[in-house]
Amino acid sequence: MMKLRLPLRLAPGFDHHLDMVSLEQASNLNLLLGQVLHTGVPGAIVELGCYTGSTTCIIGHTLAASGDGRPFHVFDRFDVTLGEHPAGRDVFERNLNAVGVPMPVIHQGDVFETVPASLPSRIAFAHLDLGVGGDTQLHARLMDHALRHVYERLSPGAILVLMDYYVPGLTVEGHDSNPGVRKAADLFFRDKPETVTTLFGGPCSHGYVRKAG
């Protein structure tokens, strides 16, 4: 009997209104943070925009599993609701506790106020996910503000991951859910030695930068 070679997806489809992070993005975060920890890049771990904690759990688990005791800082307003997910710091903390991830240092407030005031002086890994639900201009301003202050604190070899970085023709399958990311990032890095590299994020979009030495 001949076997039918048909493409099959065993995982449920990704819903951009319900799902916060794809499996591919989770793998990217785990791998890139693991590289930073393995090579001993100095500095803290930082996440700007953590919402209900989906990516925070991935980063926190990877950090805890490595046995590396460096600090992990997260920044969020915790008062913005996107899609159908309930928001709030209590939801964030409950989700982390549910999976046993150590609680990071939490900086609650507007990023325009908490950054750079509460940023660590040296950063080894940063994840930027500052989507605001459709306001491209506000998102681009948030991204520019975050990039300017995070970039200057990145150690040589540090990695900066950009959620929703989408480039037509290069991003495979990914959805252009937050155009402000590329708008701000491409403008910021046009005079820097680094360039943003696209990552495969499955149904989502992802990019990263490795700080030049």
> SS3 of 139, please?
helix
Tell whether 13 is covered by a domain: no
Domain with 80 in it: what CATH number?
A: 3.40.50.150
Domain count, the chain: 1
Least confident of 86-95, 104-113, 139-148: 86-95
* Residue carrying the six token digits 């590299």: 197
pLDDT of residue 110: 94
**pLDDT, the chain, mean:** 89
- Cβ contact 126:154 at 8 Å: yes
pLDDT in tens, 12-29: 555 544 456 899 999 999
Tell whether 5 is covered by a domain: no
More confident residue, 39 or 79: 39
pLDDT of residue 131: 81
More confident residue, 6 or 116: 116
Residue 79's pLDDT band, with cuts at 50, 70 and 90, is confident
Tell whether 35 is covered by a domain: yes
pLDDT > 90? residue 67: yes
Tell whether 149 is covered by a domain: yes
